């Protein structure tokens, strides 16, 4: 969701989201320069120039050339290391201002270059760009280690951390000092020289493996299945149009294809009556990264797991999972497992009930087969229709992408006072991208970039990025955020219709953007979504709830032909069926989260990913009719970087918080209760990582979270006392 963090000392960053991711105002610090100022050398590289133009400066996307990335990054590394060396060599005693605050001011050039680099890697990944990634990603790791293993620098950070001065700092400054100190220690700052050398080598090798994993997955997701005339029978018109549009983008006019990505595959599995083709499409999708040959990820995963546990042991932890969760909200893998294991039995029990109902339909139709994974979505829709008289095809004509975007804007305005105005003329990296200025009470809050459509070279899924964090350190600087999706672009002038699930994802990702836009802190490292991994999905999952409010649906769920709002009777059916499918959704997600954790708790053993996955799922009693949402060889959350490794449980952890907070709104009288929304803003949305997340939740709810709201929200039995 936002740009990679280049200093290992910075707070946790957000990566891709999706199951399917306002702080207290602190005293304004005086600008702090490094102890020995570094005179910048004039650069001819457009990527290393400061952002100019309106809104505190904007990215010069129109100046980016792939050939400029390597020299720009190398220049950014050199500038940043010179700044760090100046801080470390300062002869004056270490203070917050000349050490921690100076660190906050370092690396701005590299941060800007990194924004460009991350965007091109995720959205415009050409073969030339992939070559740059393969060379430069390991150099990023080496660069980070040069900082965290700088003994003189760490000595100054530690001195500030242990100094009596700390008691005189603001709460945010104390938190920032803790963030730097903790992350340096966790990165190995206290290790012996030999161990530091080995950790650096591991980090560099891992960086290369993550890049290779991601590129293999992107290659497999670039494949497609061509549909015959018979394969189109029974498909909704919108799905046919999307299949034709995907073919046209690949210069295959008159053809129809299903691209090997979730946004293309899931609708086909849901609505195609052609069982043999459903099976073909499903197998291609679930075997991404697992086909043998050049793009197979199993050997890469096995090596990643070995390196991760070795690094964890060197750093003094039992497993990679224990290292990763130490400074998360869960604190330990045991706590995360306890939550997952509490929910798992109810989820698979619900699946068994749902499958039995599906099988009745198959048998009544004399299908002559048992429900298989490629049948699940198709027959689930039939059960939904039979139980709730709800056909989601009836809903889709009201789900116009642009109207829903307006609905997101409106809801955020009701809750947080935001206003959105589209602006023209700012540089963008693709013609599909549009930009809005966000204001509150006439004050500029930030910019929101929207990149909604799928294209070749763009990774699948949906996410949020922060191109620039909010801060008041050097000067009042507004954030720049983006939301990126993979909807299939329609013909000119035609509205893009999306599914209810896709609409929820749209609101989810916008929730991350709202988190960033609400940020109101002094220092950028604790701004916006720079929070613990198992906390970052909480604001985004919470924002999904506003989609189904009457206020949004009546105003913005408008029929694309008649312009009439979605009928109240249809909305009633949607709400009545709101817990339908929770068994499936929870099980496919939890299977992935549990396998992720089990892989990283296994310790220093040789692991065959496919065999491990199969054996552990059997132990869990995984229903045969469902597969993991992300099978191990395609699990980009976990193996394209460290971000969600041993951390995919975060969505369930965050949803526990989400359900509890949503009940607070319901208890107060409704989704738009002004007092509750203000409390949410003041205690959570504005705070970023300037306050411990557990304390943020207590400040809002008056207590620690409980699991009962989560179980009620999913229609599962509620444990006693929850």
Q: Is 509 a catalytic residue?
A: yes
Q: Which residues pair with 451 in a beta bridge?
A: 484
- Evaluate whether 470 touches 527 at the Cβ level (below 8 Å): yes
- Evaluate whether 643 touches 463 at the Cβ level (below 8 Å): no
- Evaluate whether 268 touches 278 at the Cβ level (below 8 Å): yes
Residue with tokens 């009940």: 663
Catalytic residue among 437, 509, 544, 588: 509
Q: What is the DSSP letter of 579?
A: T
- Evaluate whether 454 touches 422 at the Cβ level (below 8 Å): no
Helix axes 650-668, 333-364, angle to 10 degrees: 80
Cα 356 to Cα 552: distance, rounded to the nearest angstrom:
35
579 token code pair: 């817990």
**Do the bridges between strand 257-259 and strand 418-423 make them parallel or antiparallel, or are there none, so unpaired?**
unpaired
In Å, how far are 85, 89, 298 from 481, measured between CA atoms?
31, 35, 35
Q: Which of 374, 7, 304, 346 is nearest to 180 (CA)?
A: 7
Query: What is the chain's percent helix, strand, coil content, to nearest 5?
Result: 55, 5, 35
Residue with tokens 């590289």: 45
- Evaluate whether 143 touches 77 at the Cβ level (below 8 Å): yes
Q: Does the CA dihedral 711-717-719-722 come out positive or negative?
A: positive
Cα 323 to Cα 325: distance, rounded to the nearest angstrom:
6
Cα 389 to Cα 403: distance, rounded to the nearest angstrom:
26
Q: Which of 204, 8, 200 is nearest to 103 (CA)?
A: 8
Contact residues for 641 (Cβ-Cβ < 8 A; gap 6+): 15, 210
Cα 195 to Cα 522: distance, rounded to the nearest angstrom:
36
Provide φ and ψ at 482, rounded to 5°: -140, 155
Cα 451 to Cα 486: distance, rounded to the nearest angstrom:
8
Q: What angle do CA 385, 391, 393 make, to 5 degrees?
A: 155
Residues with active-site annotation: 509
């Amino acid at each position: 969701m936002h740009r990679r963090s280049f200093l290992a000392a910075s707070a946790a960053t957000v990566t891709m989201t999706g199951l399917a991711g306002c702080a207290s105002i602190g005293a304004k610090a005086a600008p702090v320069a490094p102890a020995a100022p570094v005179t910048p050398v004039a650069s001819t590289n457009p990527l290393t120039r400061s952002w100019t133009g309106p809104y505190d400066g904007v990215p010069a996307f129109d100046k980016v050339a792939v050939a400029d990335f390597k020299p720009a990054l190398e220049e950014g590394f050199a500038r940043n290391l010179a700044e760090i060396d100046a801080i470390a060599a300062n002869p004056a005693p270490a203070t917050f201002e000349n050490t921690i605050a100076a660190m906050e001011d370092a690396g701005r050039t590299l941060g800007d270059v990194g924004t460009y680099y991350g965007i091109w890697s995720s959205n415009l990944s050409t073969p030339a760009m992939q070559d740059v990634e393969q060379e430069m990603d390991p150099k990023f790791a080496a660069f980070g280690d040069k900082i965290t293993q700088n003994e003189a620098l760490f000595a100054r950070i530690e001195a500030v951390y242990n100094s009596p001065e700390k008691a005189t700092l603001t709460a945010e400054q104390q938190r920032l000092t803790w963030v730097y100190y903790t992350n340096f220690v966790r990165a190995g700052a206290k290790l012996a020289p030999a161990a530091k050398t080995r950790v650096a080598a591991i980090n560099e090798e891992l960086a290369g493996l993550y890049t290779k994993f991601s590129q293999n997955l992107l290659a497999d997701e670039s494949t497609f299945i061509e549909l015959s005339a018979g394969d189109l029978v029974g498909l909704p018109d919108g799905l046919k149009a999307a299949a034709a549009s995907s073919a046209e983008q690949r210069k295959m006019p008159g053809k129809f294809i299903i691209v090997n990505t979730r946004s293309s595959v899931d609708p086909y599995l849901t609505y195609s009556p052609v069982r043999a083709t459903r099976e073909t499409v499903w197998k291609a999708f679930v075997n991404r990264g697992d086909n043998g040959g050049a793009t197979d990820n199993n050997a890469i995963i096995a090596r990643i797991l070995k390196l991760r546990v070795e690094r964890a042991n060197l750093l003094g932890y039992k497993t990679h999972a224990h290292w990763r969760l130490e400074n998360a909200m869960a604190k330990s893998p045991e706590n995360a497992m306890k939550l997952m294991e509490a929910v798992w039995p109810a989820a698979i029990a619900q699946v068994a009930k749902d499958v039995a109902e599906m099988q009745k339909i198959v048998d009544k139709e004399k299908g002559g087969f048992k429900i298989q994974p490629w049948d699940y979505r198709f027959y689930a829709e039939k059960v939904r229709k039979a139980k709730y008289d709800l056909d989601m095809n009836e809903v889709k004509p009201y789900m116009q992408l642009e109207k829903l975007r307006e609905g997101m804007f409106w809801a955020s305005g009701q809750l947080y006072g935001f206003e959105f105005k589209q602006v023209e003329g700012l540089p963008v990296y693709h013609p599909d991208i549009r930009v809005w200025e966000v204001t509150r009470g006439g004050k500029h809050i930030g910019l929101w970039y929207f990149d909604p459509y799928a294209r070749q070279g763009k990774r699948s899924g949906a996410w949020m990025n922060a191109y620039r964090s909010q801060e008041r350190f050097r000067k009042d600087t507004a954030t720049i955020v983006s939301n990126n999706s993979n909807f299939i672009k329609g013909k000119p002038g035609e509205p893009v219709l999306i599914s209810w699930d896709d609409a929820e994802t749209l609101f989810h990702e916008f929730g991350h953007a709202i988190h960033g836009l609400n940020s109101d802190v002094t220092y950028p490292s604790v701004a916006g979504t720079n929070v613990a991994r198992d906390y970052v999905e909480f604001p985004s999952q919470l924002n999904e709830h506003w989609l189904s409010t009457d206020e949004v649906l009546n105003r913005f769920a408008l029929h694309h032909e008649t312009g009439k709002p979605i009928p109240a009777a249809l909305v009633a059916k949607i709400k009545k069926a709101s817990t339908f499918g929770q068994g499936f959704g929870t099980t496919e997600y939890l299977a992935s989260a549990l396998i992720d954790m089990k892989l990283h708790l296994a310790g220093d053993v040789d692991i065959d990913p496919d065999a491990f996955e199969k054996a552990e799922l059997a132990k869990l009693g995984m229903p045969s009719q469902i597969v993991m949402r992300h099978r191990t060889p395609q699990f980009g959350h976990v193996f394209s970087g460290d971000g969600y490794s041993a951390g995919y449980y975060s969505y369930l952890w965050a949803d526990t918080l989400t359900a509890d907070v949503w009940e607070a709104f319901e208890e107060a009288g409704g989704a738009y209760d002004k007092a509750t929304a203000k409390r949410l803003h003041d205690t959570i949305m504005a705070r970023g990582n300037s306050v411990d997340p557990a304390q943020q939740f207590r400040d809002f709810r008056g207590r620690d979270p409980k699991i009962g709201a989560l179980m009620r929200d999913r229609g599962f039995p509620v444990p006693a006392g929850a």
